[in-house]
Structure 1
Amino acid sequence: MSGARDQLLGVLYQAASQEPEKLKNAQQQLKQWETSPDFYSTLQDIFYDISLPVNVRFVSGLYLKNGIDAYWRKTAKNSIRPEERSQIRSRLLTSLNEENKQVNVDFDNTA
């Protein structure tokens, strides 16, 4: 999973870029991956990794939130697998003690 995580992390760095071409390419790649197994649990891993830059963590959290909105329900087309939902759910409370105010935001107001 480390290789997939590193690849996703590289694309998230591009998605956090201020360069329009990098941003566009990253958004296209993330769109392709959004129905891949373990995509959202890996986004969650990246979001919780405090050693990463805030802007990368923020983009990861935003894609995680939007993906959960779209694919969490069992009836959703290409829904998140039950095992991955369970893994995500079990780690959700980890974010309650987030100290960085830039990451600790209400994502409902960002989408």
Structure 2
Amino acid sequence: MQKFLTAEQNIQTNDPMISEKARELVKEAKYVHEAFAAIADWLIDTVVYDAGPGVRQDARSVMTTKLGSCVGITCLSIAMLRSVGIPARYAHGYLPPGYDWGISKKYWG
């Protein structure tokens, strides 16, 4: 379980800007699902999807620029969750044509 709580190359869990924001967002949460929802809502409301060339996709860059692709937003969400003690991991997949999950069709954190 520890590996889902620690920093990685593109998931800067210990970055002060990331961890401070995550702690601020979850300070009123009593349960894990409330903390998760607070972080997810902030990401949805704050980060603009941008998969253009030159947009860095690590957690720190997405936090700084508020721009990211599905990969970058996933890295930031994982970093924020881990920084408040919620285990998180990167997963990706594919939904065939005709299926709609309503959100990202490739990457999930």
TM-score, normalising length from structure 1? 0.28
Structure with the largest fraction of helix: 1
Q: Which has the higher strand share?
A: 2
Q: Which has the higher contact order (CA 8 A, sep 6+)?
A: 2
TM-score, normalisation: structure 2:
0.28
